[in-house]
Amino acid sequence: MTDQMSRTRAIGGHTMGPPTTLEGLPLMLTVAEAAEVLRLSRSSAYKLAEEHRASGGRSGLPTQKLGGRLLVRLVDLAAIVGVEPPR
C-alpha cells in the first residue's frame, strides 16, 4: 500500500481517513485500494466492478484484469471523483 494510503493510522488518538488527493498514488490500484479512496467497503467496490463488466461499461467501477489481478486505473478513479489525474 502506498504512503498516501497508509495515512489511516491513528495520530494523536484520531484516525485519519482516506487520501484527500490522488497525488502519490500508483497508476494502477487494487480494488481494495480504490475502495479506500472512494470510502466504500471492499465488497461494495467488487460489486461495482462486476456491475461495470455486466453493463458493458455503462455503470460501475472500471477495472482492468492484469494477470490474475483486478486493478483500477488511476485515470478512471480520477474521472469518478471529478478531478484531473496527477501528472
CATH code, domain carrying 39: 1.10.10
Mean pLDDT of 6-23: 59
Domain assignment present for residue 87? The answer is no
What's the mean per-residue pLDDT of the chain? 85
Number of domains in the chain: 1
Instruction: Give helix 31-38 / helix 42-54 axis angle, nearest 10°.
Output: 110
Domain assignment present for residue 41? The answer is yes
- pLDDT-above-70 percentage for the chain: 79
Domain assignment present for residue 5? The answer is no
pLDDT recorded at residue 19 = 72
Beta-sheet strands, E only, within 1-87: 10-11, 14-15, 28-30, 64-66, 69-73
- Which residues have C-beta within 8 Å of that of residue 47, sequence separation ≥ 6? none
| Number of other residues whose CB lies within 10 A of the CB of residue 2 | 12
pLDDT recorded at residue 10 = 42
Domain assignment present for residue 2? The answer is no
pTM summary value:
0.77
Q: Provide the domain limits for residue 70.
A: 20-81
Would you state the cell numbers that stand for residue 23, as one nine-digit string?
A: 497525488
